[in-house]
A and B are shown apart, each in its own frame.
Chain A
Amino acid sequence: QLVVTQSPSASASLGASVKLTCTLSSGHSSYAIAWHQQQPQKGPRYLMKLNSDASHSKGDGIPDRFSGSSSGAERYLTISSLQSEDEADYYCQTWDTGIVVFGGGTKLTVL
């Protein structure tokens, strides 16, 4: 069964970097994922698509501070030079024939 797993929460200081993790279920380590950001009281915003080879394509207007990487079944979103507006929920998402799956989301707190 295709599942993506995220830690419920993360925190980092203003100006620092943070790396969020999304883990694909067993047998699905080659799958691409996408990252989405949802700021408080707003709709989701597409950040990037991330392939297993770590190549990625970002959405329009997404700053260079947001980058993606991969290792095995893990997909990462790194946010550098954290700003207050980066405090948000971050969702990873993947797909297969006839199905789309979202992770439970990681709530990022900027200290």
Chain B
Amino acid sequence: EVQLVESGGGLVKPGGSLRLSCAASGFTFSNAWMSWVRQAPGKGLEWVGRIKSKTDGGTTDYAAPVKGRFTISRDDSKNTLYLQMNSLKTEDTGVYYCWNFVGGYWGQGTLVTVSS
């Protein structure tokens, strides 16, 4: 059974940092291109960014609102995806989902609240 389990969410002040993790199981994580998608309260889905598999170069792409502030990385030895979020803003508040498009796999999400 495929599982994507996010963790690391919480309350952080504007300007602060947070690191999210996504533990993957049930599929070959090292071959997967992985993304983060977020959802602000009462709003739609917004793609945050993606990391390719190492065999495909391991490169990253980011949505404009987070470029330069967020960093996606992966540890294939731990089957884990990360999202390092720096210089957080109130508009970064929302549920953050781990997502593998090709397999159609979504995590259950972790809530990030940026507030003073």
Q: Which A residues form the contact surface with B (CB < 8 A)?
A: 34, 36, 38, 43-46, 59-60, 89, 91, 93, 95, 98-105
Complex CA gap A60/B37 in Å reads 21
Complex contact B106–A100 (CB within 8 A): no
Which interface class (under 10, 10 to 19, 20 to 34, 35 or more) fits B?
A: 10 to 19
Complex contact A60–B104 (CB within 8 A): yes
In the complex formed, the residue of A with least CB distance to B109 is A43
Interchain CB contact (< 8 A) of A104 among B44, B107, B108: B44
Q: Which B residues form the contact surface with A (CB < 8 A)?
A: 35, 37, 44-47, 50, 61, 63, 95, 97, 99, 101, 104-109
A88 to chain B, nearest CB (A): 13
Known: A34-B101, A99-B61, A100-B35. A43 touches B47 (CB 8 A): no
